[in-house]
Structure formats: structure tokens, C-alpha cells
Amino acid sequence: MSDTLRDKLSTAFAPSELVVTDDSARHEGHSGHRHGGETHFLVKIVSPVFAGLSRVERQRRVYDLLAEELRTQIHALQIEAKAPGE
């Protein structure tokens, strides 16, 4: 799942910085956690696509891109989306 997220985000946003972290281990025993992980992710992304957009619009674009994964495999996604220079 981490590779899928990286591929989709890289293709859509051409980021200058992208870090995808599987944070599932910290949520063991919580709702949505599955054995084997890959249910909770932290995404840090810097892309010129986000210039001039609000924090909410940046997150909305990432959520829209990953809608299928969020419906089927990902329980939680934390996003830190910035434009270059922020």
C-alpha cells in the first residue's frame, strides 16, 4: 500500500518532497487496525500544485486522489501538504 500511495501521489502532484509513513503499529487495537498493518498512514508532501490553495483544499485533493484506497484498505490518513517554500 505504501508503494501505491507513493506512485499515485508522485504521478498526480509531481512533488519535490514526499514521505509516506505506515503508522499502523501505533494504532494496534484501535478501530480499523488490521493485523499486518497498512491501515493508518502519514503523508508529508510538498508540491507546486498546492500553491495558493487552502489547507482544506490541499487535503481534499489528496483525499480525492486516494478515494478508492480510503474506501477499501486505508482506515486513516494524516496529511501534511505544503507548497514549496512553506
Q: What pLDDT is recorded for position 2?
A: 92
> Which triple of cell numbers denotes residue 26?
501505533
Q: What pLDDT is recorded for position 34?
A: 54
Q: Which region, left, alpha or beta, applies to residue 85 given φ > 0 means left and ψ of -120 to 50 means alpha?
A: left
Full-model pTM: 0.85
* Block residue for cell numbers 508540491: 47
pLDDT tens per residue, range 25-56: 665 656 554 555 678 899 999 999 999 999 99
| Highest mean predicted confidence (pLDDT) among 9-13, 19-23, 30-34 | 9-13
pLDDT band, residue 24 (cuts 50/70/90): confident
> Which triple of cell numbers denotes residue 56?
482544506
The fraction of the chain above a pLDDT of 90, given in percent, is: 76
Q: Among 3.60.20.10, 3.30.300.90, 3.30.70.1140, 3.40.440.10, what is the CATH number of 2-82?
A: 3.30.300.90
